[in-house]
Structure 1
Amino acid sequence: MTRIIADISVSLDGFVTGPDPGPDNGLGTGGEALHTWAFSDDPDDRRALHEGTARSGAVVLGRRLFDVVDGPNGWDDTTGYGAREVAKPAFVVVTGSPPRSVRLTGLDWTFVTSGLHDAVAAARERAEAASAAAGNDLDVILMGGGATVGSALDAGLVDVLSLHLAPVVLGSGTPLFNGAVPRTLVQRTVTRTSTVTHLTYDVL
């Protein structure tokens, strides 16, 4: 069965970027520390990255994050979705209007202008099709940014929350949780490595 999984790195004080993020500074000041684990050689970090990438049937992201990854300093042939694994699932972007052009033309992009619910529904269709082709269950991954993941949690669209808790305090930046809607979580897994703590919760 295809699940909707929010998968994102976060600081100890709840930020998914550092201060002043933008197209040329996607993770904000100091935000690179959030993703140290994705380039780590720790076997547990590599396993978490590989498993998360391998289960991705489709990926949802917001327009601001799209502008970062598709920008001139964004993804390339060596670093992309899945960091060094550079996987190529279908990507669904929630946006007010499609971009005039796309740099990463080798990736499968769908731009949804009718809201987050429709974007998740479109991604589910793509993931289910990918699951049928692969012969095993694949999921929809909400990769961010923080506002997209937070809105999906508030809307009750998320089945699983996968956090990569980095040992850094950023002080400010893009918050993951704005406290709009309380959610009950059931902890399923905890994996501690030299760079991060990987946490998985079912969202009730």
Structure 2
Amino acid sequence: MTRVVADITISLDGFVTGPDPGPDSGLGTGGKALHTWAFSDDPEDRRVLREATGRSGAVVLGRRLFDVVDGPNGWDDETGYGAAEVGRPAFVVVTSAEPESVRLDELDWTFVTTGLPDAVAAARERAEAASARTGTDLDAVLMGGGALVRSALDAGLVDALTLHLSPVILGAGTPLFTGAVPRTLVQRSVIVTSTATHLTYDVL
């Protein structure tokens, strides 16, 4: 069964980027420290990343994040979705208008201009098709940014939430939960490594 999984890294004080994120610094000031775990040699971090990348049948991201990863300092052959794993699922971008060009044209991009619910539905369809091809249950993953993940949670579009809690205090940046609709979660797993605490919840 295809699930919609929100998967994002967060600081101890609740931010998913540092201050002043932008096309040339997608994680903002100090924000790179959030993703130390994704490039860690810790075998448990590597397993968490490998398994999550391997379960991704389709990935949803917002336009700002797309502009970062498709920009000149974005993804390349060594660093992409899943960090060094460089997974290649279908990607669905929520945007008000399609970009004029795409640098990473070898990846499978779909641009949805009719809103987040339609983008999540498109990603679920792509993940279900990938599951049928591979004979494996694959997820539709909400990669971010933070506003997209929070909006999807608020709208009841998310089946599971995975947080990679980084031992970093940023002080400011893009908050994940400020102003969010109250939700009840059921904790399913906790994995503690040398660089992060990986938390998975079912969303009720």
Q: Indicate the percent of aligned positions where both proteins have the same amino acid.
A: 80
- Deviation per CA, 1:65-95, whole angstroms, max 9, x where unpaired? 0000000000000000010011100000000
Calculate the TM-score normalised by the size of structure 1. Answer: 0.99
Per the alignment, residue 120 of structure 2 pairs with 120
Distance in 2, Cα, partners of 1:114 & 1:67:
19
1:22 CA displacement: 0.1
Asked if 1:20 is matched to 2:27, the reply is no
> After superposition, where does 1:32-51 map in structure 2 within 5 Å?
32-51=32-51
Per the alignment, residue 194 of structure 1 pairs with 194
Per the alignment, residue 103 of structure 2 pairs with 103
> After superposition, where does 1:1-204 map in structure 2 within 5 Å?
1-204=1-204
SS of 1:60's equivalent?
strand
Aligned partner letter, 1:31: G
Computed over aligned residues only, the root mean square deviation of the Cα atoms, in angstroms, reads 0.5
1:180 CA displacement: 3.0
Calculate the TM-score normalised by the size of structure 2. Answer: 0.99
Distance in 2, Cα, partners of 1:194 & 1:72:
32
1:193 CA displacement: 0.6
1:136 CA displacement: 1.1
Distance in 1, Cα, partners of 2:6 & 2:22:
22
Distance in 2, Cα, partners of 1:14 & 1:98:
31
Between Structure 1 and Structure 2, how many residues are aligned?
204
Aligned partner letter, 1:10: I
Distance in 2, Cα, partners of 1:24 & 1:180:
28
SS of 2:23's equivalent?
coil
Distance in 2, Cα, partners of 1:168 & 1:40:
15
Distance in 2, Cα, partners of 1:85 & 1:180:
32
- Deviation per CA, 1:29-60, whole angstroms, max 9, x where unpaired? 00001100000010110000001000000000
1:179 CA displacement: 2.6
SS of 1:16's equivalent?
strand
Aligned partner letter, 2:178: N
Distance in 1, Cα, partners of 2:194 & 2:180:
33
Aligned partner letter, 2:130: A
